[in-house]
Chains A and B, each alone.
Chain A
Amino acid sequence: MKSILAAALIAAAPMAAFAQEAPSLSLHRFTIGGGVVWSGGYDIGDQTAQLRGNGPGPSAQPFTLFTSESRLTSAISPDVRVVFAMTRQLTLEFGTSVRQPHISVAIDGDAEAPSQELPGEKLEQYLFEGGATWQVPLSIGDKRAPASISERLAPFVSGGITFLRQLHEDRTLAETGQIYHAGGGARYFLKGGHGSGRALGVRGEARVNFRRKGIDFENKTRIYPTLTLSVFVGL
């Protein structure tokens, strides 16, 4: 019985701190935000240019003309999102972003040319995202300060899905895919966040992304990071 009571007290303590100190977006209100997102690069496939070898029978050791290693480069792009606070902890988020990474290609193994990295093809990526954040209770503030960090900072975990549309440089071919993400971050309220007044703040988030389909020469799921920094304002 004692152990059950102790557990209940431990569980209740952070909730109490959350309720008293943690800021949050206004319930059942929209917030808009804008900022920049850095998207990490990732490999999109290796391939070998092979010729049939010359030997007896139907097949012989193939001859390698060259190999290619393709990679989507990192990119920094604008990020826009709309957030709706379902509860004090749960928000729904809808965002969009336009990115312009390059496909760089490393050429190797060519007997007649040096190894080299081609400058690459510029892509246009359109991302349409839907997701949710769950504000987690955290009390790290110095209660002696009148506006402590704990009264301004609202950490969260996030998850969602993104529709991806990629256009090659000449805009003659488009490919689509999906991105699933999980991550976390925090909102730092410069103003508001405690039920009165319009909220204004800064939002930072780090994600791990799992991209399926889209431009990929091996049709693999790729994992890459993103970092977002934005400003938000309540409506």
Chain B
Amino acid sequence: MTRRTAITLALLLTIGSASPHAYLKLGAVVNGRVIAATWKQQPIGYFISERPGNGVTPMDLLAATQRATATWSGVPSANVRFAFQSMTSAPAEGIDGKTVLGFIDRPDLDRVLGATSFMIDTATGEIAEADIFFNSRFAFSVAPNGQADRVDLESVVLHELGHLLGLGHSAIGETERNSSGSRQVIGSGSVMFPIAMMAGATADRALQPDDIAGISDLYPAGQILDAGGIVGRVTKNGQGVMGAHVVAFNPETGILVGNFTLDTDGAFVIARLPSGPYILRVEPLDDAEPDSFFPGAIDTDFRVTYAPRMIVAPSGGSSPTIEIQVRPK
């Protein structure tokens, strides 16, 4: 019997704060172990819903999706392919054996631009189906240079396709609270940051190094000899820190790639980095709601800390384990 479970996981790109559950990579529990949820069959076939959106047509969505799929497929260090199947009258939700992208009016989700849901085979971790809806409550745009007061559709599609491929949220970004109490992005280093840029912005049409490292880790294109990983632990008072955000910064190229400590030992891995020395910066997860990333409690009571020295991501391998000790606030 095939054990397939519809994961009611909704990964949301939001305006302001929201509470989706995700990690950098989506995980499925297989035989007691968490493995990355990925597509095993490629190209990934998808349908476009015939429902129109707010200010855009289904054909606009198709064109934006084709540009966004080309962007993900264009990562040379990753093996990702998509194939458009056809337009469909099916909605972008529910379990129907089709992966559908389309507009749905969800006035109840007044800060959610779009969301991705999955059906994952819990025996293998394979993603069997995924749907992406874009919230018709928002006015979208496909103007080449963006359009004031309208959300750039291609940027949202690119983010949601990252989820569809198995990526969770990235925490490389800085936010501030606005007068209404919601978070506003002041800087972002990843398309997969959970909070969207302002209406009219089109910067998120381009993948960032953090996105490229993530997708290359999920779908590596052969053996990458000029990339390596950094492994380490974050500790506080001798104990591992859960949920610390670790960012690797290359002082030569300026790229930023992040990941989290994902267990109570405070262990982290930042994979698929271009080889070279990196500065490591550890920060508490305080620029988005922690439950945008983790379902359980994490430790945010520590100061931003830099590793005492640079550490090298070696070609084709991993660094020795580096320990970064943080102090309480």
Contacts and interface: CB of A to CB of B under 8 A. Distances in A.
B56 interface: no
Interface in A86-136: 103, 105, 107, 110, 112-113, 116, 118-122
**Which of B173, B189, B303, B310 has the most C-beta atoms of chain A within 10 angstroms of its own C-beta?**
B310
Given A56-B198, A56-B201, A113-B303, A105 B251 contact: yes
B87 interface: no
Contact of A47 (B174, B228, B252, B275): B252
A103 B276 CA distance: 14
Interface residues of A, number: 41
Contacts of B235: none
A51 B187 contact: yes
Contacts of B202: 57-58
Contacts of B145: 57-58
B254 A48 contact: yes
Interface in B187-209: 187-189, 197-198, 200-203, 205-206, 208
Contacts of A116: 306
A173 B208 CA distance: 25
B198 A58 contact: no
B255 to A, nearest CB: 9
B55 interface: no
A54 interface: yes
Contacts of A54: 184-188, 197-198, 201, 203
Contact of B188 (A52, A58, A122): A52
Contacts of B310: 103, 105, 118, 120-121, 168
A148 interface: no
Contacts of A55: 197-198, 200-201
Contacts of A195: none
A113 B304 contact: yes
B6 interface: no
B312 A118 contact: no
B251 A217 contact: yes
Contacts, number: 138
A48 B253 CA distance: 10
A66 B252 contact: no
B201 A47 contact: no
A59 interface: yes
Contact of B312 (A63, A170, A217): A170
A62 interface: yes
B312 to A, nearest CB: 5
Contacts of B184: 54
Nearest to A68: B251
A118 B201 contact: no
B66 interface: no
B200 A56 contact: yes
Given A54-B187, A107-B306, A170-B311, A47 B251 contact: yes
B132 interface: no
B172 interface: yes
A9 interface: no
Interface stretch (B76-84, B103-111, B314-322): B314-322
Contacts of B228: 172
B283 interface: yes
A45 B252 contact: yes
Contacts of B172: 51
Contacts of A56: 146, 148, 198, 200-201
Interface centre among B187, B254, B319 (most CB of A within 10 A): B187
A205 to B, nearest CB: 32
B314 to A, nearest CB: 4
Given A68-B251, A121-B310, A172-B317, A57 B200 contact: yes
Contacts of A119: 308-309
Contact of B187 (A53, A110, A215): A53
A121 B311 CA distance: 8
The 5 closest A-B pairs by CB, nearest first: A63-B187, A51-B187, A172-B314, A56-B200, A113-B304
9 contacts: A52-B203, A53-B186, A53-B203, A57-B201, A113-B305, A121-B309, A122-B309, A172-B319, A217-B251
Interface of A: 45, 47-60, 62-63, 65-66, 68, 70, 103, 105, 107, 110, 112-113, 116, 118-122, 168-170, 172-173, 215, 217-218
Given A47-B250, A54-B203, A65-B174, 15 more contacts: A47-B254, A49-B249, A51-B188, A51-B256, A52-B189, A53-B186, A54-B188, A60-B203, A63-B174, A68-B249, A121-B309, A121-B311, A170-B314, A173-B276, A173-B314
Interface of B: 145-146, 148, 172-174, 184-189, 197-198, 200-203, 205-206, 208, 228, 249-252, 254, 256, 275-277, 279, 281, 283, 303-312, 314-315, 317, 319-320
